[in-house]
Structure 1
Amino acid sequence: MSFFNRFSSLWASKGTVSPPSDTQSDQGFSYLGQIPPSVELFNGMFQERDWKIKWLYQQISSVIGLDGSQPSETETGKAGGVLKNWFLPIRNPTILGTTTMLGSLELGSQSVSSVAYIDFHTDGTNTDYNARIIALGGSPGQIGSAGISFYCSDVFVPTIQSNVDNGNRAATTAFVQSRVSSAISSAVSSANTYTDGKQPGGLTRELVLGATTTWSVPSGVTRIKARVWGGGGGSGGTGQTNDAARGGGGGGYVECYFSVVPGDSLSIVVGGGGSGGAPGNYGVTGGDSAISKNGTTFIYVHGGGGGQGGSGSGIMVGGGAGGDVPVAPSGSLSRTGDSSGIAILMGQSGSTYLLVCSAGGGVFWGGWTQRIAYAGTQSVAGPSGVYPGGGAGGSAHSQQYGSPGAAGLVILEY
């Protein structure tokens, strides 16, 4: 009969179970008193003993069974050996659910036999816990392979080689740290799976350019995110009393990714803001921004148009047009800059004049601008464009120069 199957049977052949109280249980068999004890007391004491034994073995069994096995009575009786086997080295672990260590990897203190492993050992003190990568093959004094590989995206970093410092072919801690650090650094700089312009690990290098320049792609960079704004247009100038000039248009905008190789030469042009027009004249169109790689232009963004000068009172439409994006890589996010809105001047000579006009913004800037002028006494210039790429606001009243648009901008993230 199995040991566990005996728990449902009573020890005596007759009588009933009389469970002892807590006090009696603490006294053990001595509480039975008489010799021989009654059947009921005998049954109760041995049944409780069985309950305790059963509970203990169930705890042992549950621990042994953590690996999914069903321990037999023999295994339970050899709990020490079974527990030792349960803590055998862990092979081929999966890390973070996505990266699998290839080949055989053991964690433990086994001797070198058929596979390489990582060994955590101590010299017996409470503070000395060192990690070694134990390699296979070769003999003392030779270099062996340390069965562990590092992967980052589709970039493979070759197997680390361990130098030998003793007969166990154990790599020194400093050597392992230096080689692992080098492997990870190489993988991070070469990986090409990010989609937001950031390197793995959240590292971003940003090149902000406000002027035309030539830039060489540095080592390890294979993909760049570009954000490009054209320059904003200047607003027109007012020529007569009670004039209202138009605002300038906003520069175009594009956001995209493009592939490069280290050493590629990028020629980057950043458009300037258009200047304001003389009294009665148009403002100047904003400058175009562009990026060329090895002599070929693949990003081109127009600046915003200049606003028309004022030549009479009333409502005047047709402000500076927004700059468009005629050239951009496939899949780019691009937008034409906002055009300037209407310019309105209301009132009579000697009264309060109200100018409302639109300064054509870039992609995220711009809006309505309100100005108040007094006939015969005050001329008001519109606001300058908002950086980057914003068009300037219109001017009010007589003989007033227009305002400048904001310069464009190029930002490279790699």
Structure 2
Amino acid sequence: MNRHRTVPVTSFGRWNRFALIVVGILLVSWGGPAASAFWGSLGSGSGTAKADAVAQGAKPTTAVSGANVTVTWTASTTAAGRPVGGYSIARYGTATGGTRVAATGGCSAAIAGLSCVETSVPAGTWYYTVTPMLSLWQGAESARSAGTTPVTDTTPPLAPVVTAPTYVHQGNVANVPVGGTAEANSTVVLTITGGGAVPVTQNVTTNSAGNWNAVPVNLTAFNPGTITYSAKATDAAGNTGPAGMATSTKDVASPTVTGVQLINGGGTSGSGVMAPGDKVTLTFSEPLTASSICTAWTTNTAQSLSGNGVVTVAVSAANDLTVTSNGCTVGKVALGAIYTSTGMTFSGNGNNASSLAWTPTQTSGTLTITLGGGNIAGDKTVTSTSVFPTYTPGPGMTDLATNPIVPGGVNGAPSRF
């Protein structure tokens, strides 16, 4: 009797699936580890396996900061929508062809994220690519990025030149101009410090000639005293140089008259009589700009005017004393008593000429008016010692910071010629 062995259908199906897997492995092995296609999963039907593939990498973008290049790209998946495991980054020295150079630094090995930074990139123009990878498989290399040229300049720029006003005063305190020069096309960081307020900072870009100007700054919140300006330049390669410095003195207080005194010159006319040699001294709370008293005084040191007819001192019938000299604005002194009933003029020549003298100190200043030759003596004698002269400054008188003097009359201490 012939006996026949029956082969179960299920055994044949299992063998069939095994054969398909072997074929798939052979196909992948033939393609090598760089192949983009691979067998993804077994079918649930009559023994099939589904093939999947890693998509081509996305074209990257780049950004340069000095010699460092940041490479960024979008995510890749397989044809079936599966995420890839990482990316390899490379660069070429040409837009097409050329030798593939594996990226270094933060862009070396397999990158799990979607950006990386390659540091200390050699000089040249580079074109970056991204290749997605999944286990032993990888997709096609992406299209190349736009040309990327890192800057290999490592020399920091020189310290900027900072130009600021000598004084911050009433007229500019809300809009202080600050500028200067630095390396062309660099970024200047300006920092302003002083007492009583937080620092003020601005970023300014120099032009092709290296000039820069900050937006005028409001320094109202700072205390009187020293204001310091510090500026550092950063060039296109990211190199930052040393600071350039400048200072201003903040003075927003108006000068005042602190003393008015009549002084007897000690002549033969005696006390109480207005005569040649008598003096008027006017004292101020701080040094004044000499040129705001007399335009001929071009420096803020001790100054004087005298000579034949150069300075004329006049006293009106109302006993108001004024000074006339070319380019001088002194103001008016009300003598506080009657020295003349008709008016008098003192001018003189040589050593007997009327004169003006300005004597500044570090914290004050004194203007002295000396009566020269003229009338021998006033026609009135003042016997009272309770004589209060009053001084009204002339317009345009300012302190060194150009703050105008407080206007109006100021009473002096009791005094007489």
> Normalising by the residue count of structure 1, what TM-score does the alignment of the two structures yield?
0.25
| Structure richer in helix, relative to its length | 1
User: Per chain length, whose mean CA-contact separation is higher, i.e. which structure has more relative contact order (CA < 8 Å, sep 6+)?
Assistant: 1
TM-score, scaled relative to structure 2: 0.25
Higher strand share: 2
Larger radius of gyration: 2
